[in-house]
A = this chain, B = another copy of it.
């Protein structure tokens, strides 16, 4: 429509994202217990899909690796559908060497059942203890094997948001972390809005008011553009 065309006309044509390859992960993962039951989490994928869409609009080559969501993949992105944390790990590592920016917005399960049954487990009258093991920490692996990539993580916390976010930024060797409180009204997994603070490696932070996930994506990509410019200088 006319508005979109005008936006395109006035937008500076020199986004540092142009022709950069951006890998975005989104959504939850599902960790099977048997053919019917699984563990998962409340991530809707909306934040990651909005970031992928906005990065593509700015001229990036976007790879969107997504767990199961109810969303339509945005146009002009290379879409990879995965289910488990292990699927996501393999897909991300396959692409990592060739990407310039990673935005890891997926809520990857950190535990999975130790045993996955081929048949539906019949219920018993008694209690049940499910043994869980850690999945591979994708973000930690990316931080460890980082060469030239900008690495952006997310921290969705229910308490001590800044403390946990800053700690994760350091431990995982990130360039920036996007933190939000999942218990705050208007923020978190399932809604269309978010309230986030972005913490950067150099100690600066940018706090945004309540806004749509599209607007958060746009602000996040502005910060990524700044980081890309700094990297060049």
Number of interface residues of A (CB under 8 A): 36
Which residues of A in the span 107-159 have a Cβ within 8 Å of any Cβ on B? 107, 109-111, 114, 118-120, 123, 125-134, 156-159
Q: Is A97 an interface residue (CB 8 A)?
A: no
Min CB gap A13→B, angstroms: 39
Inter-chain contact B127/A158, CB cutoff 8 Å: no
Distance to closest chain B CB from A62 (angstroms)? 25
Partner of A127, one of B35, B109, B134: B134
A89 — which chain B residues lie within 8 A by C-beta?
none
User: Which residues on B sit within 8 Å (CB–CB) of A37?
Assistant: 39-41, 109
Cβ of A75 under 8 Å from chain B = no
| Overall SS of chain A's interface | loop
Task: Report Cα–Cα, A125/B182, bound state, in Å.
Answer: 23
A210 CB-CB contact with B under 8 Å: no
CB pair A38–B40 under 8 Å, yes or no, is: yes
Tell whether, in the assembled complex, residue A125 and residue B134 are in contact, meaning their CB atoms are under 8 Å apart.
yes
Assess whether B111 is in contact with A128, with CB atoms less than 8 Å apart.
Answer: yes
In the complex, the answer to whether A119 meets B42 with C-beta atoms within 8 Å is: no
The verdict on A130 contacting B130 (CB below 8 Å), with A39-B37, A182-B36 known, is: yes
The reply on A231 being an interface residue by CB < 8 A is no
Smallest distance from the beta carbon of A39 to chain B beta carbons, Å?
A: 6
13 A-B pairs within 8 Å (CB atoms) are namely A36-B107, A36-B189, A39-B39, A114-B127, A119-B158, A119-B159, A120-B182, A126-B134, A127-B131, A127-B134, A128-B132, A129-B132, A130-B130
**Which A residues lie at the B interface, using CB under 8 A?**
34-42, 70, 107, 109-111, 114, 118-120, 123, 125-134, 156-159, 182-183, 189
